[in-house]
Structure formats: structure tokens, C-alpha cells
Structure 1
């Protein structure tokens, strides 16, 4: 008789401690941009090495969240900066140009902050916004690997008076490894989706480092196992309410994704220009001394830069539409914010993929050497732009402009 070794359950990654000192609180939109540039300069230094070695960006995330940039959309009424979304997306773009994995890790945190503003009562807002202002990071445990559609959730919770018990399994959990709180999308006995915000080190909550994607490697968006996890009621947020009437919540989740993609495109174009100027050789038939004088290369860089600027212009226009919808969340204003965000999503996807691909055509064969790791730009673009397919964005736009049909209203639109 063959004796089999017992199957070992996957081991989770221990959670990080809460910050020992309060995070900085940004005072203005201008300061947010200034701080973003400073943080980006620091996290850029090891971005390529972290990608190659799949290194957890612990120090970088601590720097980023302690800088105050993780609380920039906390309302002023609760002591937050409440910067405009035009400023917020510029911050994400700046960070993502340095390291798009770190830019993406912020996305769900900021999206949940926006949702709390929409759906929580004043007491819950004060509690959770206080955590965020102190520097506590929210990860995520949203999507499920085996469900038929992205919005189908098998994870659920049961009510136990002053707390709930939640059980399930999640995948695509960007930021959960490095968070102190993990919002879990779980349904109640009526099938309504809530954000059940669990302590990262709660008994029964296991975050596994099994993310194997070829891109966005250091988001560590792996598996979360939720086994009878106890969460106090004041950390259970009625997320479903954000989609019972018009709100900008869905567009906010989307626009941060757009900013990550324009950041990837910007980094790829910057690296293309730098490589062509310093390392590429002119083509044999050109008769030129420098690759940067090649008229075809000049034309290609002009095209890429133009298309990036067009994507950025739509990104900022979409952010202004979101700001408008936050002030007056009418059905028409919310739909317009969704539409312009969809347009920005299309262009940002296209320029991210084009710029990261054309990089090698312009820079030449030596740009493919492992020592440069320039393929990370394409890998990151190809992976991240798979969020929310562009082919459906075109259909949403066409139906809106042709048939006056408003976009679907959910977190992916």
C-alpha cells in the first residue's frame, strides 16, 4: 500500500504592522503633485530590480502611504485634503510612471475611500476615514477566480449581532499582502454586496503570495482565503448602496486604472527617448551619425507623444466630469463621467500597448537585453490593460451617442 504525504495547505504571508507614527496629511492639490514627484523619484530607483526579482515593495509602500497620498480623497469635513480627481489621477499617473505595480496597489484603497464617502453613515465615515488619515492601508479581496462573471460572488457573511462572520476565497487581491485592512466583497442573505473590512492579521484570513502573472508582478495580487473571519459591524460597509442611485463610484474605480495605463505609456516613451539618444545605432542606410536624427524615428516619437497627450487630455477631462458628478450626482452627470472615462480608457489602453511595443522597434535589438528589462513596460501594459475590456467600451460609447443609452451602472463602468 502506498503511503501519501499529507497535503499541506498554502502558507500565508504575515501582515505588516500598523504605522507607528501618523501619516502626513496633504494640505492642497499643489502639495499632492509635489509630494507625488518626490515619492516617484524614490520608488523609481529599484522598480526594475523589484520586477525582475518579484520583491515586495515594503519600504516603498510605507514611504508612499506615510507621505499622505493615500488619504487625498478623504473629505475635508473629516480632516482630509479632498483634492480634485483631476489632481488625484495626476498623482496616480506620476507614481505609475515610476512603478505601475505600486500605482495599481493604490487603486482599490482610493476606490474604497470614495465608496465610504457615498454609502457609509457619519459614524462609520469618521471611524474609517480616521484610520486612513493615520496611514492605515486598505488592500482588497474582490474578484473570485472561478465565478462565471466578475460580479458574481460566492463569498458571503452571516450576521452575529455586533459582528459578522465571513467565509470565501478570492483572487486578484492587489495590495492585500501589504495592507493593514482588507476589504472583502461578500454578500448578505439577500444577495447584496458589502465591503467587509477585516483586519489583515485576523484569525482565518490568509493572504497567499501566489501571483504568477508575467506583468504587474509586484502587485502580488494572489489568493485570499477567508475562513470564518470575524469582523465588527462598524467595519461592514454597504457597498451595494453605491449603485442603487446615481453616483460616481464606478467611474472613480475606472479612472484610476486609466491613470495607471497613461503612467505606463509615459515611462515607455521616456525610456525609448533615452535609449535612442544614448545607446541605439543609426540604421546602416541612413547615413546619419546618431539614431536620434533618423527621420522615421523622429516621426514615430512624435506620433507616440501626440497620442499620449490625447489620452492624458481625456483622462483629465474625465476627472473633471467626476468632480462635477460628485457635486451634483444626477443620472446625466454620472453617465457623462462614465462616458468620458470610457473614452479615456480606450485611448490609454491603445497608447500603453503601442508605446511599449514600438519602444523595441525604435531602440533596436539591444533594447531586448535582459540587463535593461525594458520588456517590463510591455508586460505591465499588456497585463494591466486587460482590466475591463476595451471592446466593450467602444460598444458603450456607440450606444450612448447613437441611441442615447446610458452606460451600465456598476464598478466596472
Structure 2
């Protein structure tokens, strides 16, 4: 006799978040939280375990509420600031840098499609420190937009049935945003509290990288949803919005953070542990001229990626007051350019750490391979080769990027 599946256990604390009031405060808090997270990054990656108090410190810092609009009590930071906050945290712990990424995207869905009462309720939860996780993607379809999960009306509410994958942050969440198609095949986003009957969180994420993102499976079996917790997310792409560029810039920011981490550890290891090549004629690896050139190249490429990331945020900021076909397209192109460089420099920096650090940099006690694993896994989120196509098609033919979460 089969047993009813139950959610993986994880202690969820009562949220008690500080409220951040400005962009400057958001950056300052991000650096403070990053210093705390960096202390145990390598060990958390090694053990695949994140103590609940670590996640609580992160979310109670107020950083998870910085995109809440000012009219609802939040800082409503710029997109450029949000990207920098994500990069700062991801440089300290790339897994923990990723877990609020979809939280921010879900808050953006609420901003775009929620009623006043829905915004007041859910933004209030976010400011208190509630963590939202996604149950959006699925693993068995012909492509990322092939959604099989269904939602149907039942009584005064709705019921969802389906199986979700890549549900980042699900183990740590107070609420989950579940994507399903209605009877007319329109995408609906349902917010459901953790512990809801019919909601099962499976802790089965086993990737080589981003190990602690809890990007596993979520099951919905007769999951009831209140009508007040349902959002018509399909409307976010029926007209020009920044939903797509928003999802992409937050992803690019994580890759920028991974690149920072890899370069940081490369510099430290070369200075303190690596040996110069015999033909260099120098006493220290940090004086090896070919090593100096490689580190200089990485620093330049990372700074270029960061500049494009910041510029993309500013293009989005300029478009936010009145989005239209042209400025949304310009934002998508700007983010695509940043995504190309953040992807490439993250992978390159993670590779160069070993090349410049030498054999001893591969010893398990350093766990330097986490940077390569994180870069290799996270940059698979969507193929960067298509970003080149988006930019080239815009420049050559004036073709606007498609409107979806990956553009």
C-alpha cells in the first residue's frame, strides 16, 4: 500500500525582517550579509546543508523586500541596485544568492498583475520577511514552455494538479508560487502557503553545482487555492512589460557574483600558495609576468561585464515609468549583452583559478571547484548563444527580442 508523500523537513522560522528604506542602505546591508555568508560558504557547499538560522539571517536582513514599491512601504530600489545586491550576495555564496532570485521575480509578477488588495497583502508578507519560492518550470516537456500542470475552478476557489521541477528555494520557503494552465490554456500563478494540503516539497536537487539552492521537485495533488491568491501571469507578456528583462538581469547578476568569487580566490591563492613557473625567473607566482597578464585580463573582462550589468539595470529603470514596445526591446537587448559577458567571465574565471593556481589549488580542502561547478550549472539556465542572436538580429534587422522569461 503506497503512502501519501510528505514534504521534506526543514525548520522554518517566524519571519521578523528589518525594512530597508533606500538603495544605499540595500547595498550596505548586502555587503554586511555577504561577509556573514562567506564564512561558511565552502563548508555548506561540501555538506550540501544550510542551517535554518543562516537563511533566516539572510531574509530577516530586509534584502528580500527591497523591490516592494514605496507606496506599499518598501524601498523600491532601482533595477541596477537589485542586480548589484544579488551579485554581492552571490560572490559570498552563489547558492544563497540564487534562492531569492525567483522570490524577486514573483514580487514583480505581483506588481504587474495584482489587484491593490493582493499587492497590499503579499508585499506586506515580503516586508515581514516571508520567503517566496517558485514552482514554475517542469522537466518532462518538449521545451521550457511546455507546461502540463493544470488549474481548474472548484467551488469558490481553484484546484491544481501537476509536477514541478527546478523549484529554487522551495525547501526554505514560507510560500510557493505555482504556475498552471487554466481551461483556456492561459498561464495562472497561484500563491500557496507552505504546509498546504496537497503540496509536497521534495528535496531531490542533486546537481554538481548550486548545490544548496533546493531546486528540486514540487508536487501539487488536489492543491486548493484561494481565488484571492491567483494572478493572471499570462498578461505579463500580452503587452510590453519588463518581466522578461527582470528575470534575465537577476540571473546575470548571479553569474557576475560567481565570477567575482572565482577571481577573488584566484588572486588570494596565487599570492599565498602558487609557485612561479621556472622560466619566469621570479620568486613569487604573483610576480610571474604571464600570470599577471592573465589576472589583468580577467579583471578587465569582469569589470566590463559588471558595467554592462549596471547599464542594463539603468536601461530598465528608464523604461519602468512607461513601458512600450521600443523601450522593453531596448531593455531586453541591454540585458542580453550583460548576460553574454557575465556567463563567459564566470566560466573563464573559474577555469583560470586552477590554471594559475596550479595542482595544489585542486586539493579538496580548498573546495575551489565549487566556483566552476556553480558557474557551469547556473549559466545553463538559458543558452547564451541565443543572446548573441538577439543582439545581432536587433542590430542587423531591427528585430525586437521575443517576450518571455528568457528574453
- TM-score computed with the length of structure 1 as normaliser: 0.96
Ranges in structure 1 where 5+ consecutive residues have no aligned partner: 1-5
- C-alpha displacement of 1:241: 0.9
Match among 46, 52, 57 for residue 52 of structure 1: 46
Partner residue, 2:235: 241
SS at match of 1:367: helix
Whether 2:303 is the aligned partner of 1:309: answer yes
- C-alpha displacement of 1:39: 0.4
Structure 1: distance between partners of 2:109 and 2:84: 20
Match among 74, 92, 98 for residue 104 of structure 1: 98
SS at match of 2:9: coil
SS at match of 1:407: coil
Partner residue, 2:392: 398
Structure 2: distance between partners of 1:114 and 1:285: 55
Contact 1:100 1:380 in 2 (8 A): yes
SS at match of 1:230: strand
SS at match of 1:349: helix
Whether 2:152 is the aligned partner of 1:140: answer no
Match among 204, 214, 218 for residue 208 of structure 2: 214
Partner residue, 1:12: 7
- C-alpha displacement of 1:284: 1.9
- C-alpha displacement of 1:134: 1.0
Cα pair distance change 1:15/1:409, threshold 3 Å: same
Contact 2:191 2:230 in 1 (8 A): yes
Ranges in structure 2 where 5+ consecutive residues have no aligned partner: none
| CA-to-aligned-CA distance 1:325-374 (integer Å, 9 cap, x gap) | 21120110000000010010011000001000011000100000000000
Which of 364-373 and 123-132 deviates more?
A: 123-132
Partner residue, 1:152: 146
Partner residue, 1:163: 157
Whether 2:285 is the aligned partner of 1:287: answer no
SS at match of 2:166: coil
How much is the aligned-residue C-alpha RMSD, in angstroms? 1.2
Contact 1:176 1:207 in 2 (8 A): yes
Structure 2: distance between partners of 1:325 and 1:247: 9
SS at match of 1:144: coil
- C-alpha displacement of 1:72: 0.5
- C-alpha displacement of 1:297: 0.4
Whether 2:87 is the aligned partner of 1:90: answer no
- TM-score computed with the length of structure 2 as normaliser: 0.98
Match among 55, 66, 70 for residue 60 of structure 2: 66
Cα pair distance change 1:57/1:110, threshold 3 Å: farther
State the aligned residue count.
407
* Aligned ranges 1:348-387 → 2 under 5 Å: 348-387=342-381
